[in-house]
Structures are given as C-alpha cells and as structure tokens.
C-alpha cells in the first residue's frame, strides 16, 4: 500500500524538524503541503513532458527578495508531489524518507 498524502506530509515535517537550526530559522513560517500532482498550469508553464517530472515546487519570495514583499502575496510554500516521489522511489534504492528530505532541501534551496 502506497503512503498517503498525510504520511508523506508527516515524513516531510519530520525531515524539516531535523534540519540544522540555521536552515529552519531562514525558512521562517514556510508551509509544506502535499499534492498528488502539480496543477495543469504548472506543468504547462514549466514545459514538463509529464507531471511525474516534478517532485517538488517552491512558491513564494526568496530570502534575497524578502524586503520587497508585494501586497497580497501569500506565505512561502513548498509543495511535494506524492505520485512523482513514489514513482521515483520505486525506481531507486533510496529510502522514502531520504528522497523526501532531498527534495525538501532542494526546494528550500530555491527559497
């Protein structure tokens, strides 16, 4: 049985909690959410061949841009895409926790 959206979210939250304090401080109140796939518009905008090509996505204002917040901007958010992550997991030797941690750190890097 494949891990649920909630189970993936729990792994991601635990991974974030285990990052060094400096990283967590820089992340601020970042939101982590889990979806099965990216929205069609994201797939189109990024020129992806398939929604399975995207494991995660950072949306928001990067650290260097924080002081130029525009009115109406939402909080910074990382979305992890469950189906793409599970597909990747099925083809590689890494643990699911390691994959989720790697994707999370990669997306924080865009922050």
Task: Residue 28: give its domain's CATH number.
Answer: 3.30.2010.20
For residue 67, tell me if it sits in a domain: no
For residue 62, tell me if it sits in a domain: no
pTM for the whole structure: 0.88
For residue 64, tell me if it sits in a domain: no
Q: What is the mean pLDDT of the chain?
A: 90
Number of domains forming the structure of the chain = 1
For residue 70, tell me if it sits in a domain: no
Classify residue 90 as exposed, middle or buried by CB count within 10 Å of its CB (0-12, 13-18, 19+).
Answer: exposed
For residue 22, tell me if it sits in a domain: yes
Q: What is the domain range of residue 26?
A: 5-57+75-110
The pair of structure tokens assigned to 62 is 């990067």
The pair of structure tokens assigned to 21 is 């304090």
- pLDDT, tens only, 53-101: 999 999 987 765 555 555 556 788 999 999 999 999 999 999 999 999 9
pLDDT tier at 8, thresholds 50, 70, 90 = very high
For residue 46, tell me if it sits in a domain: yes
Which one is predicted more confidently, 8 or 22?
8
For residue 45, tell me if it sits in a domain: yes
Phi and psi at residue 65, to the nearest 5°: -110, 5
Q: How many Cα atoms within 13 Å fall on the side-chain side of residue 44?
A: 3
């Amino acid at each position: 049985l494949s891990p649920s959206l909630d189970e993936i979210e729990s792994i991601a939250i635990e991974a974030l909690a285990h990052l060094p304090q400096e990283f967590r401080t820089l992340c601020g109140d970042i939101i982590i959410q889990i979806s099965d796939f990216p929205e069609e518009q994201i797939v189109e905008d990024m020129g992806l061949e398939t929604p399975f090509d995207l494991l995660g996505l950072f949306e928001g204002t990067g650290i260097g841009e924080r002081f130029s917040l525009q009115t109406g901007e939402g909080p910074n958010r990382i979305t992890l895409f469950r189906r793409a992550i599970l597909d990747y997991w099925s083809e590689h030797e890494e643990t699911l926790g390691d994959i989720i941690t790697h994707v999370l750190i990669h997306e924080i890097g865009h922050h």
